[in-house]
C-alpha cells in the first residue's frame, strides 16, 4: 500500500490507498515500521491520494511517530479535505507538521 | 420528505467502507461536503467500535444501520447485539481525549478516539442499551440553504 522514494536522505512515503481505516491501519503500520526500522528517521508521508482516514489510521500514524522517537521526524504532505480536517479536529496538527505538497515538506526538512 | 432505509453488514472491518460510502451517497442531496465527511467518519467510527470492542473482532455477527432522511435532519442509528459500551467510556468528555501534551510523545493518543470524534462531528449522540440490543443514535442537522 506504500511506495517509497529517497530524496536528499529524506524518505518520501506515498500511500497508494484511498482509505486508511481500521481494516488498512495494521498493514500501513507494519509497512511504515519496516521503513523506520531500516534506519530512516526523516520521513515525509504523502497523503495526496488518500481521501479518508479514521481514528485507527490516525492512531497508526501516532504509533509510527513514537517508533521514530524524539530524534526522528514525520511530516505529512498533501492532506486535503476530510483528511486535513481530521488533523485539525483532533489537534494532531500540533503533532504532525502539515505541508501542502511533498516538495514543500522535503525543502523544510532538509533546511 | 421523510424516507428511511436499513442496511446491514457482517462484523468484518473490510466491509465498513462499503456501508459508509453507501450512507454518504444517501446524504449527498441533503448535506454539504463537510457534513457528508462528518457523517461518514462518525458512522465508520461507530461501526469500528462495535466490531472491535463489542464483538472483539469476531466475524459473523450483525451490524445494522438505519438511516432516516428527514426535512431538517439526517438520523443514523447503529444497532448491534454485543455487550453494551461501559459507562466510563460514555462519560468521558470528548475534549479530554484531545487535551494531550504534544511535546510528550507518550501522552499522544493512539486509540480511544472514536466516540470523541463522533460527538464532535454530530449534532446529537445518544446511546441506549436494552435487553437484546444496543442502539447508537446520531443526528446531523441540515443547514438551511442560503438564498
Return the CATH number at A24.
Answer: 3.30.750.24
- Identify which of A69, A85, A90 has the shortest CB distance to residue B113: A90
Q: Which residue has the higher pLDDT, B104 or A71?
A: B104
pLDDT in tens, chain A (111 residues): 999 999 989 999 999 999 999 999 999 999 999 999 999 999 999 999 999 999 999 999 999 999 999 889 999 999 999 999 999 999 999 999 999 999 999 999 998
Q: Does residue A81 fall inside a structural domain?
A: yes
Q: Quick check: helix, strand or coil at residue B120?
A: helix
Closest chain B CA to residue A70: B105
Looking at domain B3-141, which of 2.60.120.1570, 3.30.565.10, 3.30.70.890, 3.20.20.150 is its CATH number? Answer: 3.30.565.10
A10-15/A52-53 β-pairing: unpaired
The stretches of A1-111 forming alpha helices (DSSP H) are: 25-37, 55-68, 81-89, 102-110
Q: Quick check: helix, strand or coil at residue B118?
A: helix
Our count of domains for chain A comes to: 1
Q: How far is A8 from chain B (nearest CA, A)?
A: 26
Strand partners, B66: B6, B77
The dihedrals phi and psi of B79, each to the nearest 5 degrees, come to -120, 130
Q: Does residue A110 fall inside a structural domain?
A: no
Residue B143, pLDDT above cutoff 90: no
- Identify which of B13, B98, B106 has the shortest CB distance to residue A22: B13
Residue B1, pLDDT above cutoff 90: no
Q: pLDDT over 90 for what percent of chain B? A: 86
Helix (H) / strand (E) element for B121: namely helix B114-121
Return d(Cα B85, Cα B89) in angstroms, integer.
7
Q: Which three cell numbers mark B25?
A: 451517497
Write down the pLDDT at residue B90. Answer: 83
For A94-107, what is each residue's pLDDT tens digit? 999 999 999 999 99
If we measure between CA atoms, which residue out of A87, A99, A38, A34 comes closest to residue A62? A87
Interface of A with B in 45-104 (CB under 8 A): 52, 54-56, 58-60, 62-63, 65-66, 69-70, 81-82, 85-86, 89-92, 94-95
Q: Does residue A51 fall inside a structural domain?
A: yes
Residue B105 CB neighbour total at 10 angstroms: 15
For B54-92, what is each residue's pLDDT tens digit? 999 999 999 999 999 999 999 999 999 999 998 888 888
Mean pLDDT in chain B? 94
Strand partners, B75: B68, B139
The dihedrals phi and psi of B25, each to the nearest 5 degrees, come to -65, -35
Amino acid at each position: 500500500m506504500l511506495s517509497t522514494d529517497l530524496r536528499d536522505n529524506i524518505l518520501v512515503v506515498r500511500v497508494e490507498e484511498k482509505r486508511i481505516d481500521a481494516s488498512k491501519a495494521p498493514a500501513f503500520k507494519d509497512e511504515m515500521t519496516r521503513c523506520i526500522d531500516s534506519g530512516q528517521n526523516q520521513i515525509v508521508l504523502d497523503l495526496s491520494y488518500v481521501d479518508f482516514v479514521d481514528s485507527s489510521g490516525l492512531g497508526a500514524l501516532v504509533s509510527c511517530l513514537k517508533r521514530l522517537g524524539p530524534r526522528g521526524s514525520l511530516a505529512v504532505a498533501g492532506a486535503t479535505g476530510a483528511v486535513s480536517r481530521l488533523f485539525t479536529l483532533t489537534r494532531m496538527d500540533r503533532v504532525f507538521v502539515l505541508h501542502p505538497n511533498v516538495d514543500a515538506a522535503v525543502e523544510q526538512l532538509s533546511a | 420528505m421523510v424516507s428511511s432505509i436499513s442496511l446491514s453488514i457482517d462484523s468484518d472491518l473490510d466491509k465498513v467502507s462499503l456501508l459508509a460510502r453507501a450512507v454518504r451517497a444517501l446524504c449527498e442531496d441533503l448535506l454539504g461536503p463537510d457534513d457528508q465527511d462528518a457523517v461518514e467518519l462518525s458512522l465508520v467510527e461507530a461501526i469500528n467500535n462495535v466490531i472491535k470492542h463489542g464483538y472483539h473482532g469476531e466475524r459473523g455477527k450483525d451490524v445494522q444501520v438505519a438511516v432516516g432522511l428527514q426535512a431538517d435532519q439526517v438520523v443514523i442509528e447503529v444497532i448491534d447485539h454485543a455487550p453494551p459500551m461501559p459507562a466510563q467510556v460514555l462519560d468521558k468528555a470528548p475534549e479530554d481525549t484531545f487535551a494531550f501534551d504534544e511535546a510528550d510523545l507518550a501522552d499522544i493518543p493512539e486509540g480511544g478516539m472514536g466516540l470523541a470524534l463522533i460527538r464532535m462531528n454530530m449534532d446529537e449522540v445518544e446511546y441506549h442499551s436494552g435487553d437484546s440490543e444496543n442502539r447508537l443514535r446520531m443526528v446531523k442537522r441540515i443547514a438551511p440553504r442560503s438564498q
